[in-house]
Structure 1
Amino acid sequence: MQVSVENTSALERRMTIAIPAERIETAVNKRLQQTAQKAKIPGFRPGKVPMSVIRQRYEGDARQEAFGDLVQSSFYEAVVEQKLNPAGAPTIEPKSFEKGKDLEYVAIFEVFPEFTVAGFESIAVERLSADVADADLDNMLEVLRKQNVRFEATDRAAQNEDQLNIDFVGKIDGEAFAGGSAQGTQLVLGSGRMIPGFEEGLVGAKAGEERVLNLTFPEDYQNLDLAGKTAEFTVTVNSIAEPKLPELTEEFFAQFGIKEATLEGFRTEVRKNMERELRQAIKTKVKNQVMDGLLAANPIEVPKALLENEVNRLRVQAVQQFGGNIKPEQLPAELFEEQAKRRVVLGLIVAEVVKQFDLKPDEARVREMIQEMASAYQEPEQVVAWYYKNDQQLNEVRSVVLEEQVVDTVLQKATVTDKSVSYEEAVKPVQAPAAD
């Protein structure tokens, strides 16, 4: 087998492969012999059909099948011989495929980029530290109470945080517009559900009262037909209900599956969850800084095949998350290209760090992570056992641990600054930079 390789770009390879005619005929004859054993032809017993008859009827199909098999096997042999690492399936262009002659074809494909990860010393990381103070715990208990708020009817005037039942009709230039009217809608004042001024305009209203609100839709309103326009809303307040926070009782604790249904037991369980969230938030922020630093220090070219595959994965995820009667391929690729490129590049960089430093998943850390996740469940031992009985789930945890070990490896060489902050600041998500 003769092989020649041409570099047509930084990553694209054009490989020409020639397979000797003898190998082709051997493959074709093997196919024909397999066919002869099971062919059913009138006038002949199975397995007794003369090869001349088999060849006359089936040689064309056998040759095509042999072509497919030979291309697949010879391509694999060639990339191994040439020490190439394809990043996707090749495009095959047959040059010649005639009986009695060598088979020659061209395979066009991309290879994974070859690089060494560098620039660890240029990466700056701010590592936060925080504790769950009693005040933080008290605030979280209030959040949980508000999440389980009940509303009770009241005769007083409406205030922020009250729940109103309203009817409203919106008009622009005296004409009702689509989506601008509703009946029996429940609205909590101060929730920000409605356009600016709507909820504020109902503060002080009483049940049975009608109010007319003259408001302007924001310039960046999602419905472009309404953006920036002035509308008149006639609102009727049907009823007003005031919020009633639940008391911290056994009944309230039971909603959260707390075994020890006491205030102390509840506070202990909530604190554990907050500490778990805190550790994860700090870890995630450190990891994001490390990954951003690796990206900045290691610009690499991305194989188109890997980028397309990742775009398609993100399309499928978007459809699964948001639903709707839309096929993944109908979503524009441009929506996902930036995120896909980041994922692909980081995947290549992380894999190369693992290779450079010969990293293996630390099984002790794997068990520790599984136990950490299991602690959020009522029967943690069963959860741990489940992970160790499911290879796919276990390997996913190993991949996460291996990525953490990559982060630790980078941190040993990066410039790390430790900073003590409040719990609230530590768990607050990092805001994405505003678009220009």
Structure 2
Amino acid sequence: MHFFGVDAPLVVPYVHRLAAGANGMVCSPASACNRKARFVNVTVENIGPCKRLLRVEGDVTEVEKAFDEVTRDFLKHASLPGFRPGKAPKDMVVRRFEKEIQEETTNKLVHDLYKAAVEKEKLKVFNIVSVEECKANRGQPFQVTVTVELEPEFELPQYKQIPVTVQVNPVTEADVDKAIEALRQQRKTYRTVERPLTAEDVAVINATGTVDGVPLSQKLGAAAAPYDSVKGFWVGAQRELGPNFFTQLVGAKAGEKRTVEVVYPADFGVKEFANQKVQYEVEVAEVKEAVLPPVGDELAKEYDAENLAALREGVRKDLENEARYQELRQVLGQVAQRLVDSVHFEVPESMLQSRTRMEVYNQVAALQQRGLSPEQIEEQKNDIYEYSHRMALARLKLDLILERIAKAENIQLTKEELADELTMMAYQRQADLKTFISEVQKSGELASISHRVLMNKVLDFVAGWAELNKQAASEPSPTTPPPA
């Protein structure tokens, strides 16, 4: 969640922390941090996208008042040998805590002058980037320089009655037949046959692999050891030891031996095999053909349907639900793209950098799941970053627009909606709900989950106002994938 406003925490590392005060600043226990400071001058310099440099000067009178207030606070709470707390003489307290009083006064002046300047200039601060080190001295004016990032400024685009063209795919009997066939394939079995292997069959093989006559593990390393020798390994058109491995066995009978050569591509998932030419000595132990169950009531009962008619009706409903979901994706995608394209504004650099890092992380994780090695990912790092930066900017702008819409329409996330999301996430992760909620609270993930659900709710609201134009899927239509 993005938090905007003048109350953003201001961190001044060099200031002595006697006690925490308002807005994340540090003030003495009884200091008048809420008193409005008076300043001699304030300048605001534009130094980048949504970035400003504030220079604020306080006069000598303001400095003296701050020193006096901080000193009074120390007098009330200082504890010196031989005196009860708050009863020590002023000159002794000032001598003993001179450095601390100066640091605390500096901190107070930074806080008060900064806040007064932000209010005067009506700045909507998103983030405080830095505070230049400064020190307050009695009898001298005080200046503080603060670099801040501002909330992006833009006018909300028209977000109701956005025109959307949706491709409609009515569910046909052929679609149902195709889905039934897929269910049939899931229930297929295999039986051994005494005939030559065909492209539709499966072969059970024993094989040994070498490179230039040397066992794979010795030539390619430990990762190749499982392929030195395999026994009872099933291969088919959809499951091979390498490119074109199975096709070289087609026509073989059980007991027949063949030499199979495989040239692995440079982008092969197991990096040790990349660009290698491997020779396999293969024995076909068995030839098996697939046996599909007949389409009928017995197949339907395998899927808890009363009969084939009931199974077909259930499949049709599932396909219709999927079609409606795909239509909704089109609507959400086009609405999101139209919102982003219809308004142009700069975003804070820190916000964009943070979102870009997140996108890079997600892209790398996706490539790792696809089996790419660290070296292959490293080769693509520039493309990964450029893509992630584009996606981060688009999604960040969409979030900012949706946040404004939520404010304009008073759209809020309910406890029930958040609870439903957490319940679903816990189920997907096969985690205990209470334990899962405790974990996301401790990790800080709860805020991002809440924000995501709220943004989805706002996007659904905008999509609900869209002007739909439905057309057959065969007609050309502008489509845009919805934001993740």
Of 398-407 and 185-194, deviating more is: 185-194
Aligned residue type for 2:326: A
> CA shift at 1:127, angstroms?
0.9
Where does residue 4 of structure 2 map in the other structure?
none
Where does residue 393 of structure 2 map in the other structure?
341
Measured against aligned partners, the alpha-carbon deviations of 1:96-150 in whole angstroms (never above 9, x if no partner) come to: 53344333121223334433466999x9753112333343234223334434655
> CA shift at 1:299, angstroms?
4.5
CA contact under 8 A between 2:154 and 2:344: conserved in structure 1? no
1:276 aligns to 2:276 (yes or no): no
Task: Say if 1:102 and 1:165 are closer, same or farther in 2 by CA, change over 3 A.
Answer: farther
Q: Secondary structure at the match of 1:197?
A: coil
User: Identity across aligned pairs (percent)?
Assistant: 25
CA contact under 8 A between 2:242 and 2:264: conserved in structure 1? yes
CA contact under 8 A between 1:161 and 1:188: conserved in structure 2? no
Where does residue 380 of structure 1 map in the other structure?
none
Q: Distance in 2 between matches of 1:187 and 1:228?
A: 24
> CA shift at 1:23, angstroms?
4.9
Where does residue 140 of structure 1 map in the other structure?
179
- Unpaired runs of at least 5, structure 2: 1-38, 428-432, 434-445
Where does residue 359 of structure 1 map in the other structure?
409
Q: Select 1:235's aligned residue among 278, 282, 287.
A: 282
Where does residue 265 of structure 2 map in the other structure?
218
Once the two structures are superposed, the pairs formed by residues 273-312 of structure 1 within 5 Å of their partners are 273-312=318-357
Of 271-280 and 216-225, deviating more is: 216-225
Of 112-121 and 271-280, deviating more is: 112-121
Q: Distance in 2 between matches of 1:244 and 1:29?
A: 93
Aligned residue type for 1:11: C
Q: Distance in 1 between matches of 2:182 and 2:59?
A: 75
CA contact under 8 A between 1:163 and 1:189: conserved in structure 2? yes
Aligned residue type for 1:345: K
Once the two structures are superposed, the pairs formed by residues 364-383 of structure 1 within 5 Å of their partners are none
Q: Secondary structure at the match of 1:89?
A: strand
Q: Secondary structure at the match of 1:106?
A: strand
1:401 aligns to 2:454 (yes or no): no
Task: Say if 1:51 and 1:217 are closer, same or farther in 2 by CA, change over 3 A.
Answer: same
Aligned residue type for 1:248: L
1:11 aligns to 2:58 (yes or no): no
TM-score, L = length of structure 2: 0.63
CA contact under 8 A between 2:134 and 2:143: conserved in structure 1? yes
Q: Select 1:420's aligned residue among 465, 468, 472.
A: 472
Q: Distance in 1 between matches of 2:331 and 2:325?
A: 10
> CA shift at 1:193, angstroms?
5.4
Q: Distance in 1 between matches of 2:90 and 2:361?
A: 50
> CA shift at 1:288, angstroms?
2.0
> CA shift at 1:5, angstroms?
0.7
Of 68-77 and 342-351, deviating more is: 68-77
Q: Distance in 2 between matches of 1:151 and 1:69?
A: 80
> CA shift at 1:292, angstroms?
3.3
Q: Secondary structure at the match of 2:409?
A: coil
Task: Say if 1:157 and 1:8 are closer, same or farther in 2 by CA, change over 3 A.
Answer: same
| Aligned residues between the structures | 394
TM-score, L = length of structure 1: 0.69
Where does residue 92 of structure 1 map in the other structure?
131
CA contact under 8 A between 1:86 and 1:112: conserved in structure 2? yes
Q: Distance in 1 between matches of 2:402 and 2:264?
A: 47
CA contact under 8 A between 2:300 and 2:311: conserved in structure 1? no
> CA shift at 1:253, angstroms?
3.0
Aligned residue type for 2:179: M
Where does residue 21 of structure 2 map in the other structure?
none
Where does residue 144 of structure 2 map in the other structure?
105
> CA shift at 1:403, angstroms?
1.0
1:314 aligns to 2:359 (yes or no): yes
Task: Say if 1:130 and 1:232 are closer, same or farther in 2 by CA, change over 3 A.
Answer: same
- Unpaired runs of at least 5, structure 1: 255-259, 378-382, 384-390, 432-436
